[in-house]
Amino acid sequence: MGRLDGKVAIITGAGSGQGAMEAELFAREGAMVVATDMNEGHLNPVVDDISRQYPETVIGLKHDVSKEADWQRIVEEALGAFGKIDILINNAGITGMTEFTLNKLTVEEWDKVMNVNALGNFLGMKHTIPAMKRNGQGSVVNISSLTGISGLGGLTAYSASKGAIRTMTKGAARDFGGDHIRVNSIHPGYIETPSTDYLTSNTDIREALIAAVPLKYLGESEDVAYAALFLASDEAKFITGEELIIDGGQTIKE
């Protein structure tokens, strides 16, 4: 028995890091997976690998989450392939230019980050929730960040976009609870993926990051993927509007 047997899941940003891990884990747990990414060069090998291990469980689709027309096409293709949508993992995201203090941040950079992260999450919910409603239930997991709770200097647009994800999650949870659709957010701390290479490849920064984590290691993609699996599954059927921090204890509260 898989924990997602019979479910159909759309996972964005599945060509790399956490999204790739989630696509593999969800297929392993019995889901049919619609794995999407803007970068087909990264997505295709991920999809091929999952198909080899779990035949006929996954399709890969090119997708820019910031484009509404792309979302319309993705939902149509998912319904065409698998007949329904139970789960959305809004994972695709970009950090944007780093070390831009607020005063140096350009409007172009702000728009780019907000469009992928905040608008992308909104469009994902807008276009998949109607199919979930027809299906009588659904689960959305929005990947925010620790920065969506406490902000991070130098990452103004990223922090704002992840804060928007945190609160739009709670609003959507209220809007669609009556339709048996749950909406939760995950807030990872530092996870070792291509998106954090710019930090973790520097030995001094890496050691400083680890020193701030009570569990004394940087997170791995599977640490987030297992949390997404739980929230996506029926095991979490009474949990909605919740924010789950996955940071090795970095922000333990009293």
Ligand X SMILES: NC(=O)C1=CN([C@@H]2O[C@H](COP(=O)(O)OP(=O)(O)OC[C@H]3O[C@@H](n4cnc5c(N)ncnc54)[C@H](O)[C@@H]3O)[C@@H](O)[C@H]2O)C=CC1
Q: Is 19 in the site for ligand BUO (CB under 6 A)?
A: no
Residue with tokens 């333990």: 252
State how far Cα 217 lies from the chain centre: 21
Q: Kindly identify the residues of this chain, within the stretch 7-36, that bind ligand X according to CB under 6 A.
A: 12-13, 15-19
Q: Is 145 in the site for ligand BUO (CB under 6 A)?
A: yes
Q: How far is the CB of 94 from ligand BUO (least distance, A)?
A: 10
CA distance 129 to 102: 35
Q: Closest by alpha carbon to 17, among 182, 185, 200?
A: 200
Q: Is 54 in the site for ligand BUO (CB under 6 A)?
A: no
**At a CB cut-off of 8 Å and minimum separation 6, what does 43 contact?**
14, 15, 35, 36, 37, 60, 62
By CB under 6 A, name the one of 23, 27, 78, 191 that touches ligand X: 191
CA distance 57 to 45: 15
CA distance 85 to 77: 11
Nearer to ligand X, 98 or 134 (CB): 98
Q: Is 198 an annotated catalytic residue?
A: no
Q: Is 58 in the site for ligand BUO (CB under 6 A)?
A: no
Q: Is 116 in the site for ligand BUO (CB under 6 A)?
A: no
Interacting residue ranges for ligand X, rule: CB under 6 A? 12-13, 15-19, 37-39, 42, 63-66, 91-94, 116, 143, 145, 188, 190-191, 193-196
Interacting residue ranges for ligand BUO, rule: CB under 6 A? 145-147, 189-190, 196
Active site residue ranges: 158
